[in-house]
Amino acid sequence: MHGSSGSAVPAVAVEKLVKTFKTVEAVKGIDLVVHPGETFGFLGPNGAGKSTTIKILCTLADATSGSARVAGFDVATERDAVRRSIGLVFQEPTLDGYLTAEQNLKFHGELYGVDKSSAAQRRKDVLEMVGLWDRKDDLVQTFSGGMRRRLEIARGLLHSPKVLFLDEPTIGLDPQTRASIWQYLGELHKREEITVFVTTHYMDEAENCDRIAIIDQGRIVALDTPEALKAGVGKDRVSIATADDVAAITALKDKFGLEAKMVEGLVTFSVAEGAAFVPQLFEKLGVAIKSVAVARPTLDDVFLNFTGTSLRDAEQKGGFNPMAARFRGR
C-alpha cells in the first residue's frame, strides 16, 4: 500500500503556522512537510512550542494563522476526518486508572467506531506488540509509568491511524524504558503503514528519526536527516576545564581566532579536526588546562550552531511551562 495512496499526499503539511496566546507567541510561523511512512522528530527545549504545534495538528487547538493538513485533511475545516486518521499519545497521561488495560482499549475502540468483527483481534495484536497482553485484565492504576506509556502507544495504534503523534513519549521514564519505547516505535514500520510524528527534548532520541526539525522559541531553525545536520556542523566540539576560564577564552580568541563560550561550566569551542588541535592548545594557550574532551558533532552541536546556546542551557532558560511543571510535580 506504500505509495498506492499516492506519496504525493504528505502525511503532514504545515504552512506559516502561528499560534499566539494572550501574551506569548508560542509558534512563530512554522513550515514543514512530513512524508508518508517516515519517522519525523520535533526536537527542541521545553517551551519551544512543540506541544502547541501538535495540539493544532490534532485539532485540539486552533491556529492563530497559517494552515495545516494531516493525512490530506485540513485541521481547521475537516476536524473529524483528521481525528479518524490520527493516533495520539499526549505528553500528559490520558488513561483511566480505574479500568483495566483492555477496558481502556475497548473504550477507545468504541469511541473511534472500530469495526466490531476485527476489534478483539486488533486489541490483542497491539497489546502483544507492547508486551502487555498478559496484563490486559489488570487495573491501569497498578501499572508503572513505562507500562502506561506502552499502553497509550498501543491505544494510539488501535484504530489503525495513518499518522501517529507522540508528544514527548519518554518524558519522566528511566533510560532503559526510554530505549524500549523507541524500540517499539522503530519496529512499528515493519508492521504498519504509518507515519510517526514525535517530539522530544532528548537529542539522543532524535537520532532515531528519519528526519528531524529543530525548533527553538517557536521557530524551526534546521530541518534535515540527523546525519546531514551533524555533517553540516563540520567541526568537533572541544571542552576544556582551565585554571582561569576568562583568560582562556581571551587567549583562544587572540592566539587561534576561536570563539569560545562557557557551556555547562566548561570552556567550549568548535574546531575542525579537534583531536589534532589539542597538542597546539597545550603548547600555545598559556593558561593551565586541567582536562580536555573532544567530541564528534552531536545534535546538541547542531542546536548550538543554529541557536547560539546548548540545548540544556536553553532548557533552563526556557519559558515556564505550567502544564509541564504541574505534571513533573506529581
Ligand X SMILES: Nc1ncnc2c1ncn2[C@@H]1O[C@H](COP(=O)(O)OP(=O)(O)O)[C@@H](O)[C@H]1O
Footprint on this chain of other proteins (rule: CB under 8 A): 58-61, 80-81, 83-84, 88, 90, 92-99, 103, 106-108, 110-115, 118-119, 121-122, 125-126, 128-131, 139, 158-160, 176, 179-180, 183-184, 187, 190-192
| The entry of Mg ion, other proteins, ligand X, none that residue 282 binds, CB within 5 to 8 Å by partner kind | none
Q: Looking at beta carbons only, is 21 or 282 nearer to ligand X?
A: 21
52 touches ligand X by CB under 6 A: yes
Under rule CB under 6 A, residue 67 binds ligand X: no
Q: How far is the CB of 233 from ligand X (least distance, A)?
A: 23
Of 317, 316, 310, the residue nearest 295 (C-alpha) = 310
Give the nearest distance from C-beta 41 to ligand X in angstroms.
13
Q: What is the 3-state secondary structure (H, E, C) of the chain?
A: CCCCCCCCCCCEEEEEEEEECCCCEEEEEEEEEECCCCEEEEECCCCCCHHHHHHHHCCCCCCCEEEEEECCEECCCCHHHHHHHEEEECCCCCCCCCCEHHHHHHHHHHHCCCCHHHHHHHHHHHHHHCCCHHHCCCEHHHCCHHHHHHHHHHHHHCCCCCEEEEECCCCCCCHHHHHHHHHHHHHHHHHCCCEEEEEECCHHHHCCCCEEEEEECCEEEEEECHHHHHHHHCCEEEEEEECCHHHHHHHHHHHHCCCCEEECCEEEEEECCHHHHHHHHHHHCCCCEEEEEEECCCHHHHHHHHHCCCHHHHHHHCCCCHHHHHHHCC
Report in angstroms how near the CB of residue 242 gets to ligand X at its nearest: 34
Which of 47, 109, 161, 226 is the binder for ligand X (CB under 6 A)?
A: 47
Nearest distance from C-beta of residue 51 to Mg ion, angstroms: 3
Least Cβ distance, residue 281 to other proteins (angstroms):
43
Interface pick for ligand X out of 12, 17, 41, 46 (rule CB under 6 A): 46
Query: Which of Mg ion, other proteins, ligand X, none has residue 58 at its interface (CB below 5 to 8 Å by kind)?
Result: other proteins
Which is nearest to 220 in space by CA: 50, 64, 90? Answer: 50
**Stretch near ligand X under the rule CB under 6 A, chosen from 39-47, 110-118, 238-246, 266-274:** 39-47
Q: How far is the CB of 250 from other proteins (least distance, A)?
A: 50
Told to check if 51 binds Mg ion by CB under 5 A, we report yes
Q: Which does 26 bind (CB under 5 to 8 A by kind): Mg ion, other proteins, ligand X, none?
A: ligand X
43-51, 143-151, 249-257, 288-296 -> range binding ligand X (CB under 6 A) = 43-51
Q: Using the minimum distance from each CB to other proteins, give the nearer residue, 127 or 271.
A: 127
Does residue number 24 form part of the binding site for ligand X (CB under 6 A)?
Answer: yes
Sign of CA dihedral 266, 270, 275, 277: negative
Residue in 50, 135, 178, 237 binding ligand X, rule: CB under 6 A? 50
Which cell is 289 given?
588546562
* # of chain residues touching ligand X (CB under 6 A): 13
Choice between 147 and 229, CB closer to other proteins: 147
- The contact set with Mg ion (CB under 5 A) reads 50-51, 91
